[in-house]
Amino acid sequence: NLMDVSFAEVIGKCMGLGIMVSINQRLDAEVIELVSSEFGYEVEFIGVEDADEEDFDDDDSEENQKSRAPIVTIMGHVDHGKTSLLDYIRSSKVVAGEAGGITQHIGAYEVEIANGKHITFLDTPGHEAFTAMRARGAKVTDIAVIVVAADDAVMPQTREAISHAQAANVPMIFAVNKIDKDGANPTKIYEQLSQMNLLVEEWGGKYQNQEISAKKGLNVDLLLEKILLEAELLDLKANPDKEAVGTIIEASLDKGRGYVATVLVQNGTLRNGDLIVSGQYFGRVKAMLNERNQRIQEAPPATPVQILGLNGAPQAGEKFKVYVDEAEAKEVAVKRAQIVREQGLRARKHITLDEIGRRLALGNFKQLNLIIKGDVDGSVEALSDSLQKLSTDEIIVTVVHKAVGQISESDVLLATASDAVIVAFNVRPSSQAARLAENEGVEIKMYSIIYNAIEEVKSAMEGMLEPKI
Ligand code: GDP
């Protein structure tokens, strides 16, 4: 309508581009852009989906920006001490003179460090939670603390955590834990990390490291200082003087209180009585509680708060935004509900090898992300090397994660968050992973001959694979 062309002309143009569409089908953003440009129009997207992006960025003028606390996720192998570390920090860093300690788990908590600086910790440790949020488009974590037990070694989930943090471009600090134990050998850990091209500071590298005992609380304060140092380098800023935007950390229905959501304010300040929209839900903030179960009136940037008043439970990782105009807020929520209904549970479309040809034709495909899983180390390395060597001037092949073993749910989540294809050699997905991949629209390519894998990826990159419609 805006372009004043008939639907037949639009369909014709689409067909000319090799895209078969019917009249009542939604086109994705790329196609809309391309088709409009064919008619001489430039598209500006102001839709309900991601129109709020700019509110998260530091686009405000310098003087409105104030430093904000870093938001930290703790990751690492099971039993290496993530929970112990979160527990120790939670219980020890209660600001002196403050009434009550942290009394409830709301999904995140904020602590004040001696010099008046703050750090916010996400209280669900692990890279699965981290990447699940990313898969929904949430950019929450500023710094990842990777916990490795000094009496153990760099383990499969340590590697996963590192890949997940790297894929998200989040800086890492290594906390070498359990140094109180007999047999603790931090040097061995640093050596193993160095074999992965991760040099800690002590070894002349760029990654900060700290030896700690989470159980005894040994050196945890030094770790916190290093987090603050990293945060300073990142120069994290936000503007507290505008309407709040942020991300849902968790949400549920509480018998007595209605829908309860923990949100992390990422920019602006959230106030009691504010009208917020998150996904297809909205409502006025009836009450805000902090992790000490105290009512608060306002939550500045990097503050986690529990809020009451939404008319539903948005998914973790969903963004929220404050609206001034009630009619507009409702309209946005209703439109989103409508999209959800129309599309059902169909997930966003992710890259597949067949798709590459089409994306190449659209001219904006630059990087092919792969996750490589195999039955033995040798084949994983061989496959990963050969596939990376397929990089051309046009397309860079990036291996986001590689490991030995079955394809897990966390691999699929990572593929979702990084828009990657999973290439498997002599291994299969677990049944949960297969289901998740199906729901998320993530492609898993399984091979038993390395040559075939390489040939197929190569032809895909040349746009030679026939799309399956
Ligand atoms: P998570 O699975 O990474 O969250 O690990 P946990 O925090 O649950 O810790 C696993 C086990 O290691 C528990 O029994 C902890 O008490 C123990 N643990 C954690 N940190 C330390 C530490 O610094 N020293 C010792 N000796 N034990 C620890």
ipTM: 0.99
Q: Tell me the one-letter amino acid at 222.
A: L
- From 215, 219, 220, 222, the mutation candidate for ligand 1 (largest count of ligand atoms within 8 A of CB) is 215
Instruction: Provide the pLDDT for residue 95.
Output: 52
Q: Is 179 annotated as a binding residue?
A: yes
Q: Quick check: 281 and 312 in contact, CB under 8 A? A: yes
Instruction: Provide the pLDDT for residue 365.
Output: 81
**Dist. CA 332–CA 248, nearest whole Å:** 17
| One-character DSSP codes across 245-279 | EEEEEEEEEETTTEEEEEEEEEESBEETT-EEEET
Tokens 């749910």 correspond to 409
Number of other CB atoms surrounding residue 37 within 10 Å: 11
Q: Is the CB of 300 under 6 A from ligand 1?
A: no
Q: Is the CB of 214 under 6 A from ligand 1?
A: yes
Give me the residues paired with residue 68 across strands.
none
Spacing, Cα 59 to ligand 1 middle (Å): 42
Instruction: Provide the pLDDT for residue 364.
Output: 72
Nearest residue (CA) to ligand 1, atom 14: 79
Nearest residue (CA) to ligand 1, atom 17: 81
Q: Is 125 annotated as a binding residue?
A: yes
| CA-to-CA separations, 282 to 255, 326, 336, in angstroms, rounded | 19, 10, 11
DSSP letter at 210?
Answer: E
Q: Is the CB of 180 under 6 A from ligand 1?
A: yes
Spacing, Cα 149 to ligand 1 middle (Å): 8
Q: Is the CB of 122 under 6 A from ligand 1?
A: no
Nearest residue (CA) to ligand 1, atom 22: 178
Task: Give the strands of the sheet with 108-112, arranged side by side.
Answer: 108-112, 118-122, 71-76, 143-149, 172-177, 208-211
Q: Is the CB of 84 under 6 A from ligand 1?
A: yes
**Dist. CA 115–CA 227, nearest whole Å:** 13
DSSP letter at 52?
Answer: T
Instruction: Provide the pLDDT for residue 421.
Output: 96
33: tokens are 């852009």
Where are any strands of DSSP class E within 116-257? 118-122, 143-149, 172-177, 208-211, 237-238, 245-254
Q: Is 421 annotated as a binding residue?
A: no
Q: Is the CB of 87 under 6 A from ligand 1?
A: no
By C-alpha distance, which of 437, 467, 409 is closest to 350? 437
Q: Which residues contact 431 (CB under 8 A, 6 or more apart)?
A: none
Q: Is the CB of 127 under 6 A from ligand 1?
A: no
**Dist. CA 51–CA 57, nearest whole Å:** 12
- From 78, 83, 84, the mutation candidate for ligand 1 (largest count of ligand atoms within 8 A of CB) is 84
Q: One digit per residue, pLDDT tens: the chain, 469 residues?
A: 888 888 888 888 888 877 788 887 777 777 788 888 888 888 876 554 444 455 555 456 777 889 999 999 999 999 999 999 999 998 886 554 455 567 678 899 999 887 789 999 999 899 998 999 998 888 899 999 999 999 999 999 999 999 999 999 999 999 999 999 999 999 999 999 999 999 999 999 999 999 999 999 999 999 999 999 999 999 999 999 999 999 999 999 998 899 999 999 999 999 999 999 999 999 999 999 998 888 999 999 999 999 999 999 999 999 999 999 999 999 989 888 887 776 654 455 688 888 888 777 777 788 999 999 999 999 999 999 999 999 998 899 999 999 999 999 999 999 999 999 999 999 999 999 999 999 888 999 999 999 999 999 999 998 766 555 4
**Dist. CA 140–CA 319, nearest whole Å:** 10
| CA-to-CA separations, 419 to 53, 135, 339, in angstroms, rounded | 19, 9, 22
Q: Is 177 annotated as a binding residue?
A: yes
Instruction: Provide the pLDDT for residue 96.
Output: 45
